[in-house]
Structure formats: structure tokens, C-alpha cells
Amino acid sequence: MKGFAFAGIHAGIKKNGQKDLGLILCETPATAAAVFTKNKVKAAPVILGQQQIEKEICRAVLVNSGNANCFTGTQGLEDARRCIRMVADTFKIPEELIMVSSTGVIGAPLPMDKFETGIPQLKAQIHTGLLDDFATAILTTDLSTKTVEMTADLETARGRQTIAMTGVAKGSGMIRPDMATMLAYVLTDAHIGAADLKHALTAACDKSFNRITVDGDTSTNDTLLCLAGGTGNARINDDTSRAVFQVLLEQVCLELATQIVRDGEGATKLVRITVKGAATKQDAFKAAEAIAHSNLVKTAIYGEDPNWGRITAAAGRSGAAVNPDRMDLHFGTVGLVIQGKWQGSDVEKQAAEVMKAADILITLDLNIGDHQDSFLFCDFSENYVKINADYRS
């Protein structure tokens, strides 16, 4: 994207020879907004990032994988600050305009010698590096990179303006964002004020990253950062342009969030659970969240078993108002439960066929109100256990 450059290298932080250090460089100071994890155990780069983002402007983002720099005390904070100083000295950028992120194993100190030799390598690559280099460098247990590019047009008195937006993320396990390990960066060429950008990003996060789960664990390092470089011709300064920008940002965030769930550790299926007919918006959220987090539901999905009792039971314990005699439950278009009554073995066989697909839609209608909400989640396989049992080996 115009106005942004990327680099990604193997600095030696990981032992497997894969890329593990990446950089986003903005040609000019970009308007910046961010959302961070609400986990009370926060990694050093999150603590520091919450301070840095107060400037509402950024020129560079350094990201390492293979080490979370979490539970590392005052040394971890100082190491994060040293990383900022090294980027500042190497790229001749003020320290207050640099953000850092980390992802990987919790508890180990950063191998600072790898950053001392790696950051100059990033500078050597920055003018030839590709987005994919950066996207690869930030991965941990991910099986694939996660990127998206979208545009939207604005019709103005000065003619048509185009908003360009690029997103890149990592995340596969420890995914239950509450603002998954999740890092996401969204870049745009639009001109937009810091307050408008923060408002738009918070709303987009709530509809995307806060509506996904892989394993129900909220990371210590979750970071969603949006940078607006202002190199394009689109100006976000009225209700119409804000609305167009908001829709585009939500689409980009939702696509990244979907890619994260699809690449969940050990996942074989992507599932959307929609709860409708709830008495309140909060009730719809509670029921959908409880179903998406249920290990019994997730294992049934993996087994391609339309075990509807697990789904209705999760809704019943969620805290939402429910009436079992009014529930409708559909797998795709197959109504397995109508007004609280199982529709029989023949219909269940049809539901089982639906569950053989890689993408599954489940709809629970509580039939007691007008509110609805949705979550994206994945199934739970034995490979998830294997991946996490061996994670630090």
C-alpha cells in the first residue's frame, strides 16, 4: 500500500529457522489508534504500547514472534524500550513514534542480541520487502499468513475518492479476544482524525475480533493497531465518509478474524452460531458466546454429530433468558428442533450431512424477543491437544 513499507526476516529468535522479526514503516507520521487485551496479565509491549498510543501518531511498528516478553518484569519493559531505541537509531525516527509487539512463549526474556543484529537487517530489506514477509514473520503456531486488501469509494463534491485498506494478522491458539495470541494491524491511506479513528476501530473490533473464539483463552499480548497514513485522496470528515470508512474497516477486521478462526489450532471446521429471538442484545451475546466456548459443542462439531442437547444446554446456562419449549434450532436450513421438540432421526440425519461441510451455520431462535448476535468458532480436535502439549518442546 502507498505510504507503507514492510520487512520480515529470520533473526534467530525462533529455533526453526523461520522468519521471526518484522517491521511496518510509515513514510510519514500516521494517525494511530489501538485496542489492547483486557487480560490483567499484560505483556511488556502491551503496557508500553498503551503509553505510546497516547501520542495518537506512529511511524514504525516492530513485531517479533517466538517470545511474548510477558511475565518478564521490569527487565521486559526495559527490553521493549531498548527495541524502540534501536529502531529509532536505525531508522532515524523519534522514539515516541514507534510501537512494539511480541508473541510467543510466556516467561522467557527477549534475546536482545537477536534484535541488535536483526533490526539493521530489517532496514536493509525495508525497500524491497513485501507484506507477506512481515505477515510470515509474526506467526507462531499459525499454518498460514492472514492478510486482506479492500477498497471503498466516496462520492464527494470534489469527485470520487477511494479509501484503500490493508490488514494483516496472526493468531491460531489462545484466541478469545476481550478488548486472540492475536496481533492485528490495519493500514489505510485515508485522512482521518485520531478521535474518529479510535471510535471506528473500537466499534469494528467489537463486531469482529470480540466475536471469535478458538479455545476460550484471552491472550496477554492481544493488540489491534490501525494506522492512517493520509497518502490517499479520501478525507474522513463528515457523517457520509465516516459511515463508508466504518463499513470498510469492519469488513477488513471481520475477514482477518475469520481467517484466524479458520486457522485455529487443530481446526477442521469454521462455525457461525447465530442466536436470534433473544429478549435483549446482551442475552443474544451471552447465549452465542456460551455455545461458541463450549468444548462439548466444539467436539461434537469435530465428530460431525448434530448433538443439539449440548447447544441448547449451553444457551440454558449462559445467563440469558430462555424458554426450552420455544426454542428452534437449525443446522443450515435443517430444522432439527422446533418449538422445543426434536424433529426425529430422519431430520437428524439431514443435519449430520450439513455438518460434513467445512463451513457450518447454526441458528438458535429463542423466540422470546427481537435481538440477535453471532460468534465465529472452530471445532476441537485431538490435534489441538497435541499442538499445545508440545508447544514449548
| Parts of the chain belonging to CATH 3.60.70.12 | 4-262
Tell me, yes or no, if 312 is annotated catalytic. Answer: no
Residues 6+ apart with CB under 8 A from 380: 215, 266, 295, 298, 299, 301, 302
Other beta carbons within 10 angstroms of residue 308's beta carbon come to: 21
- Decide if pLDDT at 186 tops 70: yes
pLDDT at 346: 98
338 or 381, higher pLDDT: 338
Residues 6+ apart with CB under 8 A from 72: 44, 79, 107, 108, 109, 110
**Mean pLDDT across 94-98:** 98
Assigned architecture for domain 270-389: Roll (3.10)
Instruction: Kindly list the distances between the CA atom of residue 116 and the CA atoms of 78, 110, 126, 372, in Å, as whole numbers in the listed order.
Output: 14, 11, 16, 51
**Mean pLDDT across 107-130:** 97
3-state secondary structure of 250: helix
141 or 273, higher pLDDT: 273
Query: What percent of the chain stands above pLDDT 70?
Result: 96
| 356-388 pLDDT, tens digit each | 999 999 999 999 999 999 999 999 998 888 877
pLDDT confidence band for 218 (50 / 70 / 90): low
Yes or no: domain 4-262 corresponds to CATH 3.60.70.12 = yes
Q: List the alpha helices (DSSP H) in 194-238.
A: 194-207
| 50-63 pLDDT, tens digit each | 999 999 999 999 99
| Parts of the chain belonging to CATH 3.10.20.340 | 270-389
DSSP state of 333: T
* CB-based burial, 248-267: b 16+ in 10 Å, e otherwise: bbbbbbbbbbbbbbbbbbbb
| 267-315 pLDDT, tens digit each | 999 999 999 999 999 999 999 999 999 999 999 999 999 999 999 999 9
Cell of 97: 513514534
* Catalytic pick among 181, 188, 258, 363: 181
Cβ pair 6, 121 in contact under 8 A: no
